[in-house]
């Protein structure tokens, strides 16, 4: 497989995974599944917290705290959808093996690292926007 195809995220039939592509893809199937599970768990925490706060008749402002689990859920789902870990992008590493930070490979190309950081910022901003929207909607509930 040529470097150009690998950098574009072309499938590598021998490995059964997608290759690293700067600013586009820095995690494989195990890491994607891990982030999807984070999204599911955080979405459940958000819903349970909202129900608890409403049933407990807690002050309305406390619903703004839903920002945190909602933003975490959004981060998990966005990272899974984009096949891109924001933390890995910020740190300049990627992983297509088993899930976990101990199995990462460093990105050495400066342009690739810059593209990865830009994607990481985009994911963080999107997660914060979703968290804020959920918090404001919960405040109005």
Residue 9, SS3 per DSSP: coil
Residue 100, SS3 per DSSP: coil
Percent of the chain with pLDDT over 70: 87
Q: Give domain status of residue 48, yes or no.
A: yes
Q: Give domain status of residue 82, yes or no.
A: yes
Decide: 38 and 72 in contact? Cβ < 8 Å.
Answer: yes
Q: What is the pLDDT of residues 75-84, one digit of tens each?
A: 999 999 999 9
Q: Give domain status of residue 93, yes or no.
A: yes
Number of domains the chain contains: 1
Give the helix/strand (H/E) hosting 119: helix 110-140
Residue 11 has pLDDT above 90, yes or no: no
DSSP string, 11-61: EETTTTEEPPBTTTB-B-HHHHHHHHHHHHHHHHHHHHHHHHHHHTT--GG
Average pLDDT on 90-106 reads 86
Residue 27 has pLDDT above 80, yes or no: yes
Q: Roughly what angle, to the nearest 10 degrees, separates helices 29-55 and 110-140?
A: 20
Q: Which domain holds residue 127?
A: 22-140
Q: What is the pLDDT of residues 103-114, one digit of tens each?
A: 899 999 999 999
Q: Which two tokens stand for residue 134?
A: 């959920």
Average pLDDT on 57-62 reads 97
- Beta bridge partners, 95, equal 27
pLDDT at 24: 96
Is-above-0.75 flag for pTM? Answer: yes
Q: Give domain status of residue 6, yes or no.
A: no
Q: Give domain status of residue 8, yes or no.
A: no
Residue 106, SS3 per DSSP: strand
């Amino acid at each position: 497989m040529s470097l150009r195809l690998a950098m574009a995220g072309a499938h590598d039939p021998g490995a059964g995974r997608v290759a690293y592509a700067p600013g586009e893809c820095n995690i494989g199937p195990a890491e994607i599944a891990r982030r999807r599970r984070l999204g599911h768990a955080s979405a459940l925490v958000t819903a349970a917290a909202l129900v608890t706060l409403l049933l407990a008749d807690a002050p309305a402002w406390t619903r703004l705290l839903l920002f945190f689990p909602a933003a975490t859920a959004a981060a998990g789902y966005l990272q899974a959808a984009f096949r891109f870990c924001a933390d890995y992008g910020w740190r300049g590493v990627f992983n297509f093996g088993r899930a976990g930070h101990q199995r990462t490979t460093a990105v050495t190309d400066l342009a690739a690292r810059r593209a990865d950081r830009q994607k990481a910022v985009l994911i963080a901003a999107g997660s914060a926007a979703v968290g804020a929207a959920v918090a404001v909607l919960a405040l109005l509930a």
